Structure 1
Amino acid sequence: MTTGSARIMVWDAAIRLVHWLMVVLAPLLWWTAEEGYMDWHKGFGLTMFGLVLFRLIWGLIGTWTARFLPMVRQIGSIKSYIGTLRSREHGATFGHSPLAVLSVFALLLALTTQVTTGLFSVDVDGLESGPLAVLVSFDTGRQFAEFHEFNFNLLAGLIGLHITAIAVYRFVLREKLVRPMITGSRPRDDFSTAQLPDNRLRLLPLIFAAGLSLACVITVVNFG
């Protein structure tokens, strides 16, 4: 790789901001729940709800590396990709690698489940509840709460696997994944493909995704 090679944008600013806010919020949500700071927990939970919703919308209308359809197309090449990892012949992937796609989908599913169950959860005494708990019975709200707790353990396990995979890529495969998620860019020479997808960030889809996510959060808050 040439030291002075041109850099190209891989991860847009929106997806990077959402990613790092989720990284910060996940331990805060665990800590506030453990310590009983439920007002803070609800606030952080609604923030996470907005971030997850934005990421789901952005996966449909965002930049190329953010969209779900190109990721789904990667799944079919998992077997061959694992083969390149074993032989240490893998190259940098523009966006998510086939294995990373599985991680993204698993984490988003767990996060979506977590925020959804939190919205309907009711505690044992019925004193603390999610903003949409009024739509379900007390017993149903308790079931949501129990699954909310169970799913967090699953989410924590997935986060642990995600961190382990990043460490393996860094120290075993010698590929730095964290820096591009901070800066958004990688050297053009990292990619052997002559023509890369159009990955430009467009303002109107960004405004729409952010506006719709914020409107949904406000609606849920006012409903509660």
Structure 2
Amino acid sequence: MTVTTNWQTQPQEIFAMGPIVPVLVIENIEDAVPIANALIAGGINVLEVTLRTDNALQVISEIASKIPSAMVGAGTVTNPETFQQVVDAGAKFAISPGLTKELLEAAKASTVPLIPGIASISELMTGIDCGYDHFKFFPAEAIGGAKAIKSISGPFPNITFCPTGGINQDNMGNYLSLKNVACIGGSWLVPDDAVANKDWHRITEITKAAVEASKQFV
């Protein structure tokens, strides 16, 4: 069941939009739209802009206002204050690296969905108690990888994950082949040197290759 009827988009809808969610660290505002367009041209429409740069909120606003077809969300949301900031910037969803009850409750009262991050069974149970059933599993490779997520499906068969952290085209199949994984997050689609050289075509080609490779697992 969904956590709240106030959310304009439900987490399962976001998870179903594609098997790969690019995790974006965008320094320069002028790169925001070209990167987003390059990813969309490669077949990906869901974009996670992390709050790891000074310009992150402006980047989200830029993409949201200029590419309304993009499902742009915010990553690295850690408290109710930053959650409200990303909502105000135009984010259509938020993702957190971990969870607190304060953040979970703030998101439940919003129109924008939160996908909380978990790294332990206890955190997962806290999220479930608050009504959530779609989670980020982070940092995936460092905390047991696909084997850990597969084990969780036993006691928690109705929980769906988007694992992130250390995932790339070489190992994404380990995750996407699991029944409790709907999509994965990764940063390899947008290499730093491609951005520095403004080689948007390269990003599109990397994205196309990743999307094509993912089809055998979903």
**TM-score above 0.5, yes or no:** no
More helix by share: 1
**Larger Cα-atom Rg:** 1
Higher relative contact order (CA 8 A, sep 6+): 1
More strand by share: 2
TM-score (norm 1): 0.27
